[in-house]
Copies of this chain bind each other. A is one copy, B any other.
Amino acid sequence: MSESRAERGDRIAPSQLVHALGGGRVTPARLTIAEVASGQSHAFTIEQLALGVRKANPRIGLATVYRTVAALVSTGFLDQVGERSGAALYFRCAEGGHHHHLVCTTCGAVSTAPCPARDTVASAESAGYLVTGHDVRIWGVCPACRRTGGD
């Protein structure tokens, strides 16, 4: 597992953040949300994200976080990489190309995995299906959490 963006101290360029909003208006709240989201090193829930957002600006409401995350997902800036006890898990995956995610159920660390479903999709299509989407999710305990005994 390589180091995360946040651990390396990377920052997202303002122009990238603007692009992430896909033509929508660029407001302080949206910039804050996109910035906090992209700074996460692990998969996060909306609630966790909102916590970080409020640290930067306590006036930003939960509804705005939901709405902005939806916008960021629709532009591909964020991915929904799973869920944890009913709440959706998101992550900013800088990796390009089609791939899937492996999420550590203990710490939320995210790794990427190439898509293994191509053949399956192809055979479904040859059977007459119009395949409109697919999802491959793998979860487990990452090497670091295994070493520390699961917490």
A residues at B contact (CB < 8 Å):
1, 100, 102, 104-105, 111, 113-114, 116-121, 123-124, 127-143, 146
Q: A120-B116, A127-B143 are in contact. Are A135 and B135 (CB under 8 A)?
A: yes
**A86 CB to nearest chain B CB (Å):** 10
Task: Verify A142–B129 contact, CB threshold 8 A.
Answer: yes
**A122 CB to nearest chain B CB (Å):** 10
Please indicate the chain B residues that have their CB under 8 angstroms from the CB of A104 in the complex. 129
Give the distance in Å from the alpha carbon of A121 to the alpha carbon of B102 in the complex. Answer: 9
Q: Which residue of B lies closest to A130 (CB)?
A: B141
Task: Verify A117–B136 contact, CB threshold 8 A.
Answer: yes
Task: Verify A120–B114 contact, CB threshold 8 A.
Answer: yes
Q: Which residue of B lies closest to A82 (CB)?
A: B135
Please indicate the chain B residues that have their CB under 8 angstroms from the CB of A131 in the complex. 102, 138-140
**A134 CB to nearest chain B CB (Å):** 4
Task: Verify B120–A119 contact, CB threshold 8 A.
Answer: no
Task: Verify A140–B124 contact, CB threshold 8 A.
Answer: yes
Give the distance in Å from the alpha carbon of A111 to the alpha carbon of B121 in the complex. Answer: 12
Task: Verify B141–A129 contact, CB threshold 8 A.
Answer: yes
Task: Verify B124–A138 contact, CB threshold 8 A.
Answer: yes
Task: Verify A128–B146 contact, CB threshold 8 A.
Answer: yes
- Give which listed residue, B116, B128, B132, contacts A116 with CB less than 8 A: B116
